[in-house]
Structure 1
Amino acid sequence: MLKYTEEKIFTQEQVQQLFLSINWVSGNYPKRLYKALMNSSTVLTVWDDDFLVGLIRVLDDTEMLAQIHYVLVHPDYQGKGIASKMLGYIKEKYKGFMYLEVMPEDKNNVSFYKKNGFSLMENGIAMQICNYGYEG
């Protein structure tokens, strides 16, 4: 049986392994990734015994806006409803906020978010600056 928890009990290596399992660039920066997760508002993780199989991260301002930044599930566990269950948990936790936003980096995931109650912003567009090489 899978365990869902908000406790930040993961190691840097466990997080890196999960991110690299789906080829996400963040996995190439394990120290920065771990520090970012430890300082995030909410990190919901999913465990199969001591194996990290899923993670969702939320950044919030405590009242108005919560932004979902990571939703990922290990390839061996995809297609089992884990991501939808994580989103359900987060939607319930943040139901009192004015906005709960997500910015899928892959257009193929839009239908998944729509299925889970999200809608496209009428006039919005995603924008970002990537500083992959910065080690500050």
Structure 2
Amino acid sequence: MDTSKGHKKLFTFKDGKIFKNTDIAPVFLSNGWSLKEDSSHVVDALRFSDQVASCWLGDTLIGFANSITDCGITVYIHYLIVHADYHGNGVGTKLIEQLVCSYPNYKHIVLATAEENVEFFKKFGFFTHSTVRTMEMRRTNS
């Protein structure tokens, strides 16, 4: 049981890949993340992920994290997002722990994050590497 704003909240953590479009948008928008693509694209991406950990308060999605693997060596954590109203309640920590524990035999677990989140991920053993840079290509026509 976690607490938020002085009220007891019972969060349910799940593994699963089935979400509705209406589950996703409020979590994104609460954090100021735009959904440049329709939320159905995110729902599809989660469905095709290797693992998805999610947190619910009743029927309301509070947050989720997903991973994609090469089936043996490397895990890439793509999303970790928690509804802004529930930051600081341990939800993100639990979601990352769920994913990391799912891959005990993988050599590399990698992610990309904003500079302000680096300290959060360091507590799980993630580190920055001085010679490795995250790169991205964005296509406007897809």
| Unmatched tracts of structure 1, length 5 or more | none
- Per the alignment, residue 48 of structure 1 pairs with 57
Question: 1:28: Cα distance to partner?
Answer: 4.4
Can you list the C-alpha shifts for 1:78-110, whole angstroms capped at 9, x where unaligned?
001111111111111112101011110x10000
- Per the alignment, residue 141 of structure 2 pairs with 134
Q: Where in structure 2 are the equivalents of 1:1-136 lying within 5 Å?
A: 1-26=10-35, 28-104=37-113, 106-131=114-139, 133-135=140-142
Can you list the C-alpha shifts for 1:27-57, whole angstroms capped at 9, x where unaligned?
6421211111111111111000001001001
Query: Between Structure 1 and Structure 2, how many residues are aligned?
Result: 133
User: Given that residues 16 and 51 in structure 2 are in contact (C-alpha distance below 8 angstroms), is that contact kept between their aligned partners in structure 1?
Assistant: no
| Unmatched tracts of structure 2, length 5 or more | 1-9
4+ runs deviating over 2 angstroms: 25-29
Q: TM-score, normalised by structure 2?
A: 0.86
Give the residue type in structure 1 aligned to 2:125: G
Give the residue type in structure 1 aligned to 2:13: Y
The RMSD of aligned alpha carbons is 1.4
User: Given that residues 18 and 74 in structure 1 are in contact (C-alpha distance below 8 angstroms), is that contact kept between their aligned partners in structure 2?
Assistant: yes
34-43 or 63-72: bigger deviation: 34-43
Name the CA distance, whole Å, in 2 between partners of 1:114 and 1:94. 18
Question: 1:59: Cα distance to partner?
Answer: 0.6
Which has more helix, going by share of residues?
1
Name the CA distance, whole Å, in 2 between partners of 1:122 and 1:95. 26
Name the CA distance, whole Å, in 1 between partners of 2:36 and 2:57. 20
24-33 or 74-83: bigger deviation: 24-33
Can you list the C-alpha shifts for 1:101-131, whole angstroms capped at 9, x where unaligned?
1110x10000111122111124101110122
Q: TM-score, normalised by structure 1?
A: 0.90
